[in-house]
Structure 1
Amino acid sequence: MIRIKSRNTLTRLIALVALVLAIGLVAIQPARMQDGSDAQSRITYLVEEAYVPNQVIVALMPNFDIATVAAMYGLNPVPISQTGAVPPSYLMQIADGSTVEQKVAQLSADTLRIDFAEPNFRLSAPEAARPTWSVGDSYSPVAAGRKASNGQWARGVIRLDEAHQVTRGTAMVNGQPTPVVVAVLDTGIDFNHPAFAGRLVPGYDFIGQDNDPSEEGNPQIGPFGHGTHVAGIIAMVAPEAKIMPLRVLNVQGRTDAFIVARAVEYAVAHGAHVINLSLSTSNETGVIHDAFYDFLEGQEELDGGNLPLNGAVAVVAAGNTGTTAYQYPAAIAFLEPNRIGREVIPVAASNSSDVLSIFSSRGPWVFVMAPGERIISPAPYNRYANWSGTSMAAPIVAGEAALVRAVNPLAEAKDIQDHIFARTVNIPGQIRRVDVMLAVSNPIPLDTDRALPVKSRR
């Protein structure tokens, strides 16, 4: 059945006004370094760089076609790309010389034909402007790194070794062992690292548009190794889960909203049960909103006879702003709690004192915190390395979600989110901190009579 999409008009107009007011201004996004100091080296972006130039994202109201709209509004008649949602969103090239702001304003004014129009906003890894692991501590050879990783502080705080006595990420379905699949939307992965031997399923490179999502770049560029490090944390927490590497961040650690939306769609279509997104933007984006809406909540059917497609959980880094300012897509969980927010877990970073990290984003929109400082995990060139950030905290929770899914293979995605939040540790004055052992040792009650809810966008 076709689901009619209708984004809130007031929200769309408010976003449009904010966009127009920003024209010509310089946007400086404050952040904090790993040591908590103000970010002197934080990259400062002009507003023009906050989104991809000469592109707009358009979603249509029912019964209108993109070719007609493109002809009316000076767009290239052939979409650059489109999502698989029903109805889809289109990535369009501006063909008449208008600015992105002008084109978004023109399209948004046509409420008869246009569901929503927005720039193709850029996102980045929160640590993209940080010194790389190669500047700090790294461990070589692999044996030394593995020993350091196995003995690091984060494991004890979340009671990981005890949790592994319950599950390591393999579910039993119809009497058959079936691994949980975790998609990692990041800079790619070092396929040759021994930490990933036997732990990978095929992925995709949305930057290079090929089937090889390997890390690219070099250690002198900030985000190099980010995806390898993130994937390694998931492998540490859920060692029997399978990792699906999806390269969505370029060598500068940046991407755009349309790529992220397509990657979410790809992950679910190819059997991911958990999706880790260690990336963020300060701009709410409709195309990612709709990707979460259309693809995270599953259907009552089996994934090739394996785990039921009861939805995918999206675990999202809260960002490293050190403020309460919303970061997306993490904030969707708070802003839409009764719709797509039920399948999204925003994650802050904590330190070894069980205190919120000074660099971490915070506020009522951030649900849980997890260890995110000096986390030791695989890095390219057969190394292990320290890295800090909410990007390191999110995969701890993604790994936890995989373990919870393994213990509860019939649970729905929103139940997993609720369960993880309910099985956290209450630390006075802090965001609730995850406890993996607590989560896996308490099964989720299965309501066999519950039907899938009817979804409504607004």
Structure 2
Amino acid sequence: MNALRRLTIGFSIVLLTVLGLWFVSDHTEEEDQVTEYSTLRAAMDDIMAEDLKVTIQMFLYQIEEDIRGWDKESWSDETVRTRMLKEVEDHPHILGFYYKHDGMEYTVGNVTEDYEQRFVHRKDNGIALSDPFIDHGKKHILMGKIDIEETYVAEVDLSFIENFVKDTAAVADSNGQFFIGDGKIDVSLEKEEAELPYARKEIPEIGWNLYVQSEESDESEEHYKQGEVIIELEPNINDKQWAEEQNVTVIDRINSKIVVRSPNSSTEQLMEKWVHDNSVVYMEPNFMYSKQTIDYRKRPRRSLNYFGPMDNLQQPNDEFYEPYQWNLSQIFADEAWNVTIGKTGVPIAIVDSGIDGEHLDLAEKITDGFNAFENNGAYHDEHGHGTHVAGIAAAITNNLDGIAGVSWNNPILAVKSLDHNAEGNSLSIAKGIIWAVDNGAKVINLSLGDAHDSDIMYEAIRYAYENDVVLIAASGNDNVEIPMYPAAYKEVLAVGAVDPHRERAFFSNYGNHIDVTAPGEHIPSTFLSNQYVMMSGTSMAAPHVAGMAGLIRSVNPELTNEEIYTIIRNTSDDLGEQGYDPFYGYGEINMKQALEEIRH
């Protein structure tokens, strides 16, 4: 047994050595790799630009719908101010609202007086918009409707759009002035010259142009927490005393394993030092894992239509559903909801960067939460990735606001295993999974991963699987056949991404471990501070399947996790080559077929 343990530890050392050699290699096939990378990077930039463009459109659409809502009802003088106060209160980005009717004027908050002169864009539906302008150091825009009988004007703070866009893109107004940006574009260049290195998208309603160019990847990026090792010691060893003797600190523990950190030694040095230590039963680096969302991007192809007709049997009234949520219609969610909209006894755990517990489309669905870094209930999302994933799986639906979730009634367990950068490690993910199982999760979504097979994470996966939890994971966004973990574990259902044309998303990883695919390009969902954004990635595909698994378990709680995997695979719509293939797995999920199969 000791020989086997030494072999396991020795393998970890070899793995670290291989990783180290890979990091410092000069890549002999450099030309081909550079070409392939440049093509992939340009395509991903285009995806990102489309996501950002539609996020801006969604932001403006939401305000526009509120303004147009004033046309639909007659307001008495007594109720106008109350309605206006609610308008500003419900939308923190609306700084002020102005209403004029029958010679009476009402104002709540601050609205620029020369609004009529500032309205330079007019849409067919009567909505007018200004160009961006600066007031008290912040970027604003005016939106409104002016006619003979009534006038409505909202002054809108663009801080959310600026903060969401500025680190990855630049935006120019209709006059060609860059008012949001990351400083990469030389504004002295002619427009044609400025566009050359960038993915460019136009927002036609207001004449804005958005430019995206991603940064070069950092080849020196670490794949494990430097200076940290996960260790299991012989049962008779006092771990605190051992750590003190080794001049390392125990920073966390899970079951029989501890995580130690050295301020002075690298992970490689520590593992080389302990490979002959008879006290050490097992050790591995504390591997790092991250979200599987594209940092926004896309390939050139025919234009997407987010506004196609939806002849739904069970169509929710959420404001973004009909114009933007093509993804739910594509997997026949509208028809599946006639079978079930979920049950409160089937919780779905989102193991991710946490969730915004105050989001109006999520707050009432969250029943509990856990922070795997602090071992407490502070699950608040500082990044936005987990909030977006949670909304896809189970946003509050049919509430007039925001989006529809795949599952309407299944509660959410919010598990923070990724930090403010949407990065985590073997231990944080393992702890999050175990907590979710112990707190009643029936389905766990894992929109995270990397190419490292971690024993400690696999133990947690096995624990969940043996407790009959359905495990859904994103396959990864590198367009490679290399297995990503945890998606590659046999206990997990691995999900790839398809686009609105049911074609494999160009970034979606492939291989014989892929089980099914789901929509993963340009997916609208919840975001921090009651906002909604468009994102792309297999991170977005996975929660479609997690929400679907929650609905399947709501119809028949007696089904085992393996039986649910089989149902999901067998009822998917075959795509690509006939039968199973490594690009689409068994095909794209079909919620209607899956739920109808178990109902009969």
Q: Please give the TM-score of this superposition, normalised by the length of structure 2.
A: 0.59
Q: Which has the higher contact order (CA 8 A, sep 6+)?
A: 1
Structure 2: runs of 5+ lacking an equivalent: 28-32, 49-198, 200-212, 298-305, 307-315, 395-404, 578-583
Shift of residue 181 of structure 1? 0.5
Q: Could you say which residue in structure 2 is the equivalent of 1:166?
A: 339
Bigger drift between 400-409 and 53-62 goes to 53-62
- Name 1:338's counterpart in structure 2: none
Q: 1-side partners of 2:532 and 2:317: how far apart? A: 5
| Distance (Å, rounded) in 2 between the aligned partners of 1:155 and 1:5 | 53
Equivalent residue, structure 1, for 2:100: none
Deviation at 1:350, TM superposition (A): 0.5
Worse-superposed segment, 312-321 or 248-257: 248-257
Aligned: 1:204 with 2:370: yes
Which residue in the other structure is 2:529 paired with?
Answer: 381
Tell me which residue corresponds to 1:41: 215
Q: Secondary structure at the match of 2:420?
A: coil
Between 405-414 and 346-355, report the one with greater CA deviation: 405-414
* CA distance in structure 2 between the partners assigned to 1:165 and 1:258 by the alignment: 41
Three-state SS of the structure 2 residue aligned to 1:82 is strand
AA in 1 matched with 2:413: M
Q: Does 1:247 align with 2:416?
A: yes
SS in 1 for 2:46: coil
Question: Superposed, which structure 2 residues align to 1:25-424 within 5 Å?
Answer: 25-26=23-24, 33=44, 35=46, 40-41=214-215, 43-46=217-220, 49-60=222-233, 66-67=239-240, 70=243, 73-76=246-249, 79-83=250-254, 85=255, 88-94=256-262, 97-109=264-276, 113-127=279-293, 129-130=295-296, 146-151=318-323, 152-170=325-343, 178-207=344-373, 209-216=375-382, 224-235=383-394, 236-298=405-467, 311-333=468-490, 341=491, 344-424=492-572
Are the equivalent residues in 1 in contact too, given 2:407–2:548 (CA < 8 A)?
Answer: yes
- Largest Rg, 1 or 2: 2
CA offset digits 1:294-330 (Å, max 9, x no partner): 23311xxxxxxxxxxxx21121111101111111111
- Where 2:361 maps in the other structure, the secondary structure is helix
Match of 2:585 among 427, 431, 456: 431
Query: Relative to 1, partners in 2 of residues 1:363 and 1:7: Cα closer, same or farther, differing over 3 Å?
Result: farther
- The 1:129/1:375 distance shift into structure 2, 3 A limit, reads closer
Between 260-269 and 6-15, report the one with greater CA deviation: 6-15
Other structure's SS at 1:21 match: helix
Unaligned runs of 5+ in 1: 132-137, 139-143, 171-177, 217-223, 299-310, 334-340, 446-458
Q: Take 1:8 and 1:365, find their aligned partners in 2: how far apart are those partners? A: 28
**Amino acid of the residue matched to residue 104 of structure 1?**
M
Query: What corresponds to 2:82 in structure 1?
Result: none
- Shift of residue 423 of structure 1? 2.0
Task: Report deviation, 1:428.
Answer: 2.9
How far apart, in 2, do the equivalents of 1:6 and 1:179 lie? 47
> Percent of aligned pairs with the same residue?
30
Alignment-mate amino acid for residue 260 of structure 2: M
| CA 127–428 in structure 1, closer or farther in 2 if over 3 Å, else same | closer
Aligned with 2:15 (options 12, 18, 35): 18
* CA distance in 2: counterparts of 1:244 and 1:279, whole angstroms: 17
Secondary structure of the residue aligned to 1:276 is strand
Corresponding residue of 1:453: none
Distance apart, 1:169 and its partner CA:
1.4
Instruction: Give yes or no for contact 1:168–1:403 (8 Å, CA) kept in 2.
Output: yes
Deviations 1:37-72 (A, max 9, x none): 99942642525x322122100134666553565467
Classify the secondary structure of the residue corresponding to 2:368: coil
Contact 2:274 2:280 in 1 (8 A): yes
Cα distance per residue 1:404-458 (max 9 Å; x no partner): 111221222222222212221211334331111222222299xxxxxxxxxxxxx
- Which range moved further: 390-399 or 11-20? 11-20
Per-residue CA shift, 1:371-423, capped at 9, x if unaligned?
00111112223222211110100100110111111122122222222221222
**How many Å separate the matches in 2 of 1:145 and 1:239?**
12
The CA distance in 1 between the partners of 2:234 and 2:558, in whole Å, is 35
Q: Distance in 2 between matches of 1:43 and 1:180?
A: 40
Following superposition, the deviation at residue 276 of structure 1 comes to 0.9
Number of equivalences: 390
Bigger shift: residues 178-187 or 391-400 = 178-187
Name which of structure 1's ranges 158-167 and 63-72 shifts more when overlaid on structure 2. 63-72
So what's the TM-score if we normalise by structure 1? Answer: 0.76
